[in-house]
Chains A and B, each alone.
Chain A
Amino acid sequence: MRVDAAPARTGGTAGAGRMTRRTVYFPGGPASYLALGREPEAGKTAAPLLLLHGFAGDLLTWQLNMPVLGADRRVLAVDLPGHGQSTLDVGDGRVAGFAPWLLRFLDAVGLDRMHVAGHSMGGYVGMELARLAPERVASLTLIASAGLGPDFDLGFLRRVTAVSSEEEGTDCAARLFAGPCWLVDRIGAVLHAQAADPARRAALERITEQSFAVAAERFPPVDWSAFPMPVQAVWGAQDRIIPLPSPHMLPHGAPLHVFDKAGHLPHSEAAGPTTTVLRDFLNLCDAS
């Protein structure tokens, strides 16, 4: 196992200077990730937090949340296979296959047990990780999450993988939000750039067809008895990609936080409230 790039900062959330991605090499890797945050104060328990981004995104989707979450604990955000600066090898394209990959990543960076929060496809991956290794997942936060049922906009995912211009990328990006957002142009440019990269586009197409197209056809209800950890869900009321789940799609008693003025990216569009909900939940789970 080899780790490249700048040393992780310790002692505070960042220290002086610019945050930099790190790369860890392991069989099936490499994985690109960003790590920050404080070790818990003496006498306090604060399990680390692993953040998983959504389809066609990358770890930078957590830009507005990570530093605040890092005030309490170590926080790692990783680029999933086929995304960001991690390996473009997505195997057979099934999201379930990302869970064992994540376990190898977690072993490589020395994370034994942690909270997991995933957005959209990242929530789906988080569920697969929790199913595969429940003893390693202290809690699960599902943000506008895939993996709960067959009701989502498959056509949008196919369009995102085939964006042919920056304008179309911007149009797709705008659909992710409830209203105007400063991130739209930036996300649109990224969507266009990755669709123009044949290897990256092939990886996204494989995930779309092998995971999401299959899920849209048939998606058995989630057996929540396989998830012993606390679970919560966070959604934007104006999500046009994955609509609000019915209560029966979530574990009995799991909190569902809905933000009115947010779409598919509540952690960006309602960053403050989403971060607060997440932080409170993690602290509660640590204390119990």
Chain B
Amino acid sequence: MNRTEFLLALDDMLELPAGTLTGTEELDGLEGWDSLGVISFIALVDERTQKVVEAEKLAQAKTVGDLLALAGVKEPA
């Protein structure tokens, strides 16, 4: 799953119009980033990348870019 696809999946998960997220957004400013958002994110990463997000690292995430890094999504070259 590439960065664009993952951002679109996050848009969908956070109930935002497709193409909204760019990676720089602060999580605290996203209305949908709540407990259900956390569950949805961990489940999304597991399903799309077969990786288990470590809760302790998720707690440190501040931006959408941090979520991408946790999911192991590579930055564009």
Contact = CB atoms under 8 A, between A and B. Distances in A.
Contacts of A95: none
B14 A64 contact: no
A64 B58 contact: yes
B37 A16 contact: no
Contact of B32 (A15, A18, A66, A67): A18
Given A13-B47, A16-B13, A18-B13, A60 B40 contact: no
A64 B42 contact: yes
A251 B32 CA distance: 43
A199 interface: no
A20 interface: yes
Interface in A228-270: 268
A20 B35 CA distance: 11
A70 to B, nearest CB: 7
Nearest to A186: B35
A272 B43 contact: no
A15 B9 CA distance: 10
A103 B39 CA distance: 26
A181 to B, nearest CB: 8
Given A16-B13, A63-B39, A272 B55 contact: yes
Nearest to A181: B59
B55 A17 contact: no
B12 interface: yes
Interface residues of A, number: 27
Q: Is the interface of B mostly helix, strand, loop or mixed?
A: helix
Contacts of B55: 64, 268, 271-272, 275
Interface string A9-27: 0001111111111000000
Given A16-B9, A18-B15, A63 B38 contact: yes
Q: Is the interface of A mostly helix, strand, loop or mixed?
A: loop
Interface residues of B, number: 23
A34 interface: yes
B44 interface: yes
Most chain A CB within 10 A, of B13, B15, B47, B58, is at B47
A10 to B, nearest CB: 12
A271 B7 CA distance: 26
A272 B54 contact: yes
Contacts of A196: none
Contact of A18 (B40, B46, B52, B59): B40
A275 B39 CA distance: 14
A240 to B, nearest CB: 21
A66 B36 CA distance: 11
B75 interface: no
Given A12-B47, A64-B42, 13 more contacts: A13-B46, A13-B47, A15-B47, A17-B13, A18-B13, A19-B36, A19-B43, A20-B36, A60-B35, A63-B35, A64-B58, A66-B39, A186-B35
| 8 A-B pairs closest in CB distance | A14-B43, A271-B55, A67-B42, A60-B35, A67-B43, A64-B55, A12-B47, A13-B43
